[in-house]
Amino acid sequence: MKFYDLIWLIPIFPLLGAIINGLVSNRLGLQKSVTNAVAIAGSGLAWLLGWAAIVQWALELGIHNTHIVSLFSWFQGGSLRILDGSVAEVDVAASFQLDPVSALMVAFVTFVGFLIHVYSIGYMHDESDRAYARYFSYLNLFMFSMLVLVLGSNMAVMFVGWEGVGLCSYLLIGFYFEKEWCAAAGMKAFIVNRIGDWGFLLAIFATFMVFGTLEFTEIFPTAAAHPETYAAAATVIGLLLFVGAIGKSAQIPLYVWLPDAMAGPTPVSALIHAATMVTAGVYMVVRCNVIYRLSPTAMLVVAIIGGLTAIIAATIGLVQNDIKKVLAYSTVSQLGYMFLAAGVGAFVAAIFHVLTHAFFKACLFLGSGSVIHACGGEQDIRKMGGLKKYMPTTYWTFLAATLAISGIPIFAGFFSKDEILAKAFEAGAGDLNTFGTTYYALWALAVVAAVLTAFYMFRLVFVTFHGEFRGGEEAEHHLHESPWTMTMPLVVLGVLSIFGGLIGIPGKLFHHPEWNLIERFLEPVILPIGHAAENAEHLSHHAVSLGLEWGLVLLSVAAASFGIWLAYRFYMGAGAFVRPRLLAERFSFAYRLLLNKYWVDEIYAATVIAGTIKLSRFLWEFDARVVDGVVNGTALTTVGSSFISGVFDLKVVDGAVNLVAKSYDVASREFRRLQVGFTQGYAMVMVFGAAVLLGVFYLVKL
Amino acid sequence: MIITATHYLVLSLIIFCLGLVGVMVRRNFITVLMSLELMFNAVNLNLIAFSYRLDDLAGQVLAIFVITVAAAEAAIGLGLIIALVRLKDTVSLDEADVMRS
Amino acid sequence: MGFLIENFGAIFFFLVAALTVAGAVGVVTLRNPVHAALALLETFVMVAILFILRHAEFLAAVQVLVYAGGIMVLYLFVIMLVKVKDLRAEDAFLLNIAPLAVLGGVLLGALLAAGILLGTMAAGDGAVAALQTIGDETVGNTEAVGWLLFTKFLVPFEVVSVVLLVAMIGAIVFGRRDAALSGPGEGVEP
């Protein structure tokens, strides 16, 4: 049996689960056990089939062969003249592909997704049967969308998944829609994502205009073979794609939705807002690495946005008191690292960090869910403390994941983060694309962000799990370890947080480059570009000596250790909380700045949102005054002329002034009829619009 | 004098535009729907004229589909009228403004 | 007299066309909905005659049966049911936008007419060969239409039947007395 020919089935299983749970279990309010069986089957079968297909594909076809399964021709259209002068037929297929990047993504999306389904059984058991079914239906739907996103072999199919995960994100963030702020958070995520989707959509159009196809396997070899021809186009496409990535992966300036997304149930935060969906942007940038490598500008933008996001989100994370908010900002920060990696050309490191981040961040979120569950919904870490003795499994897995995210050697995050830092430094040393200084600065920012990461993550551990419980007598009685469905995924993910990084040992440091499994695995995706570019990359590899590389490793370990030490001094022992309070008082402005997240939400409210409202109001008034003047032209002339003849003898100037005022008055009163809800007004606008279009058509044809 | 497709097209156009104006100016929901039927008929006339001109039966078949859709539209539209009367005791389209903010 | 006989077809067309337009004008301008409905009925019948002139006999029959017979009766039912009494001009028409609406209609019509008259449509009579044949066999128009409808257009035909079903369900839902429509203000934020 050729499993790799059945990859289209991988997304279908969760889709079936979503349909059954959404349309049957939810409607009929079936028992939780039925819902469980359907949802687990949907995600579990996807997991098994996914892994089977990947293993078989790698063994039988080899990782250098991109395997494409084309189902049917999705849509066809006319023809279009493209950049190189030839004519391309608009023909987009619904097809899926298996190559190293998508294989890696499928492998961990299905696996982590399955674990989170299992975890959710324990976490959501208090919900009513129907809400439970709804929840699992959304969760399965999300798996479907994400798998379509990563398996799609062209941008159109990818876009379907891209929109799908956005939709599921909205549905799941607003899961507790009866609470207004949850519903609002869902809408915020949806709208902010829409801005990014707009960029992606434009990028798709641009790609089609340039390459005449949307298939990845056709675009990238073409672009790589003619770097000069496509350089300018690559900048445009790359930047537009990155707008999409900014929205989906919560980068500056569109990161504001992610912290609010914590309104959803905690497993959702783990699945969508840490492990999978938000990495879609990184995945897309890595997938399109050829486009980015053709365009130094796009690379630089990616790197700068990534670096700035990493540091800014890390600083905000320092002072947050909501356990999930801290994790949310750390996610934003780590995503910044991934884009920094992509921006310095270390695409393998970016995907590697996606992978390890999926393990430890899912573990952290699930651990926080376990904590919240035990504390009866309390999310404020100031009301926790000393949880270590009540929930040992949660504590140890959480600690492992924290060590991983901080970048302590052996743990997963160390290898990926260290590689990113090393590659950023190399980019500076090798003067990549002659932007060396900028890349040095970004590297420095990333090192500082590493210190901050270690600090705020250990602050979280110390405040939550050590010391005395601060939540009151009664809450203390309820503290308990979570059921096995919740701890089992924690243990699995905790183990992976420890050992998951071993697939990417920086073998170069030991003169054994072949130890770096992930780099060898992903190598077919990084297509060589022309001749000159290849030499340049070759040079940059040797810009940093082995000794310096070791020095960088030690530096990143030292940075992490320093952050941990700082957190220990601040939040452990006798002087716990004293120092941070003093600091907060001393630098109260900085403290408030961070606590209020740089007032970014407020700035957006004052500028973008208020601007939109003002614009709408202006347009309304324009409608009311100018357009209405036309509408009531005949009537107004009569009113106006009689008015003028009436007052002409008295005061001409006054009369004219009054006429203006009066006409405004009459006009706005009358024109309100054409506002919302007046069907025939719309019909009239359509008629005039059609007439104008027809006129334009004639003018163009003549 | 030979009657060509152009004659039919112009006739169809006149009826279509009359229906269009009717849709826009009538206050009564029922007469608006009637004007819509006029527009459907104009379209059918157009299809038939071309069917004859091009000697292709597909035009007639399309006209049948149009009639079917028009019947569906009439059923839904009249149902809406009943609902509107029940809700607001009026058949004036400009009073059906619940969506107005 | 010879002129009349020679051009009988054309004269008949213009007569029917004039009556059709008259009916359409009546639909748009008559204030009483019952009168408008009768004008619409007249238009339907005239259009059916035009269909026959263009060798669409089956369609003409459908036009009379479905439109004049079915849809028209439905309209009259509703008119009787809802007691319309807008006989004043300002009740029947949206006088404030009427001038602009007429202007828009005329503008669009003029543009489209320009397209038709200046277009490359060749003048000339059509043919009736394919309208009455199945393969090579000459049959009636009804049989030919039926043949095409159940072979080439079978799937659209079935789809359209679903559309009708949905419309029927929709009409029932809207028409139900306890339909889930809230009164003004209820459940709707102002």
> Tens digits of per-residue pLDDT, A496-552?
888 888 887 777 777 777 777 777 888 877 777 765 455 455 444 556 677 888 888
* Residue A85 tokens, joined: 């002068």
For residue A636, the model assigns a pLDDT of 60
Residues from chain B that touch A677, judged by Cβ atoms under 8 A, are 96-100
Residues from chain B that touch C75, judged by Cβ atoms under 8 A, are 30, 33-34, 74, 78
Helix (H) or strand (E) holding C15: helix C8-29
For residue C173, the model assigns a pLDDT of 85
Write out pLDDT tens, residues A569-616.
888 766 666 777 777 777 777 777 777 777 777 777 777 777 777 776
The string of DSSP letters for A199-250 reads HHHHHHHHHHHHHS--BHHHHHHHHHH-HHHHHHHHHHHHHHHHHHHHHHTT
Residues from chain B that touch C81, judged by Cβ atoms under 8 A, are 82, 85
Spell out the domain ranges in chain A: 316-323+341-595, 599-701
| Residue A649's pLDDT band (cuts 50, 70, 90) | low
**Rounded distance, CA B8 to CA A94, Å?**
44
pLDDT of residue A686 exceeding 60, the answer is: yes
Q: Chain C contact for A695, CB < 8 A?
A: yes
Q: Do B60 and C51 contact (CB within 8 A), yes or no?
A: no
Report CB contact under 8 Å: B97, A684: no
| Residue A232's pLDDT band (cuts 50, 70, 90) | confident
Per-residue pLDDT averaged across C36-42, rounded? 93
CB pairs under 8 A between A and B: 29
Q: Which residue has the higher pLDDT, A534 or C40?
A: C40
Tokens 């609010």 belong to: A260
**b/e A409-428 (16+ beta carbons within 10 angstroms → b):** eebbbbbbbbbbbbbbbbbb
Q: Do A419 and A515 contact (CB within 8 A), yes or no?
A: no
Report CB contact under 8 Å: A674, C97: yes
Report CB contact under 8 Å: B81, C78: yes
For residue C185, the model assigns a pLDDT of 42
CB pairs under 8 A between A and C: 41
> What is the β-pairing status of strands C137-138 and A67-81?
unpaired
* Residue C149 tokens, joined: 């409808």
**Rounded distance, CA C41 to CA A150, Å?**
59
CB-nearest partner of C7 from B1, B22, B63: B1
- Residue A668 amino acid letter: S
Spell out the domain ranges in chain C: 1-99, 127-177
> What is the β-pairing status of strands A67-81 and A87-98?
antiparallel
Signed CA dihedral, A97, A98, A100, A102: sign only: positive
Q: How many domains does chain B contain in total?
A: 1
**Rounded distance, CA A340 to CA A329, Å?**
16
Q: What is the CATH number of the domain that holds B21?
A: 1.10.287.3510
CA distance to partner chain C, nearest, from residue B68 (Å): 7
* DSSP code, position A389: G
* Closest B-chain CA to C17: B11
Domain that holds residue B51: 5-93
Could you give the 3-state DSSP secondary structure of residue A182?
helix
Report the topology of domain C1-99. Four Helix Bundle (Hemerythrin (Met), subunit A) (1.20.120)
Q: Do C144 and C134 contact (CB within 8 A), yes or no?
A: yes
CA distance to partner chain C, nearest, from residue B33 (Å): 9
Residues from chain C that touch A695, judged by Cβ atoms under 8 A, are 111
For residue A560, the model assigns a pLDDT of 87
Average pLDDT, rounded, for chain C: 82
pLDDT of residue C91 exceeding 50, the answer is: yes
Write out pLDDT tens, residues A278-312.
888 899 999 888 888 888 888 899 999 999 999 98
Q: Which residue has the higher pLDDT, A142 or C127?
A: A142
For residue C190, the model assigns a pLDDT of 35
Write out the E strands in A3-42. Answer: none
For residue B101, the model assigns a pLDDT of 45
CA atoms within 13 A on the CB side of A544: 24
Per-residue pLDDT averaged across A367-383, rounded? 83
Write out pLDDT tens, residues A5-35.
888 888 999 999 999 888 888 888 778 888 8
Kindly give the parts of chain B with pLDDT less than 70: 97-101
Q: Do A348 and A282 contact (CB within 8 A), yes or no?
A: no
CB-nearest partner of A688 from C94, C104, C114: C104
For residue C50, the model assigns a pLDDT of 93
Could you count the other beta carbons within 10 Å of the beta carbon of residue A669?
Answer: 12
For residue A63, the model assigns a pLDDT of 80
Tokens 């695995």 belong to: A521
Residues from chain B that touch C156, judged by Cβ atoms under 8 A, are 65
CA nearest B28: which of C44, C39, C78, C24? Answer: C78
**Rounded distance, CA A643 to CA A655, Å?**
8
pLDDT of residue C16 exceeding 80, the answer is: yes
Per-residue pLDDT averaged across A131-143, rounded? 90
Tokens 């990461």 belong to: A453
For residue B35, the model assigns a pLDDT of 93
Write out pLDDT tens, residues A415-439.
888 888 888 888 888 777 777 788 8
* Residue A648 tokens, joined: 């002409």
Interior angle at CA A339, CA A336 and CA A341, nearest 5: 110
Residues from chain A that touch B100, judged by Cβ atoms under 8 A, are 675-678
Residues 164-183 of C with CB under 8 A from B: 164, 166-168, 170-175, 177, 179, 181, 183
Q: Chain A contact for C109, CB < 8 A?
A: no
pLDDT of residue C184 exceeding 50, the answer is: no
| Residue C112's pLDDT band (cuts 50, 70, 90) | confident
Q: Which residue has the higher pLDDT, A203 or A270?
A: A203
* Closest C-chain CA to B10: C113
Q: Chain A contact for C117, CB < 8 A?
A: no
For residue C48, the model assigns a pLDDT of 94
Query: For residue A434, is it left (φ>0), alpha (ψ between -120 and 50) or beta?
Result: left
Could you count the other beta carbons within 10 Å of the beta carbon of residue C70?
Answer: 13
CA nearest C20: which of C45, C37, C38, C53? Answer: C45
**Rounded distance, CA A664 to CA A671, Å?**
10
Which of A299-308, A615-624, A692-701, C4-13 has the highest average model confidence (pLDDT)?
Answer: A299-308
For residue A685, the model assigns a pLDDT of 83
Q: Which residue has the higher pLDDT, C1 or C145?
A: C145
Length of chain A: 702
CA distance to partner chain B, nearest, from residue A624 (Å): 15
Report CB contact under 8 Å: B100, A680: no
Average pLDDT, rounded, for chain A: 82
Q: Chain C contact for A691, CB < 8 A?
A: yes
| Residue C24's pLDDT band (cuts 50, 70, 90) | very high
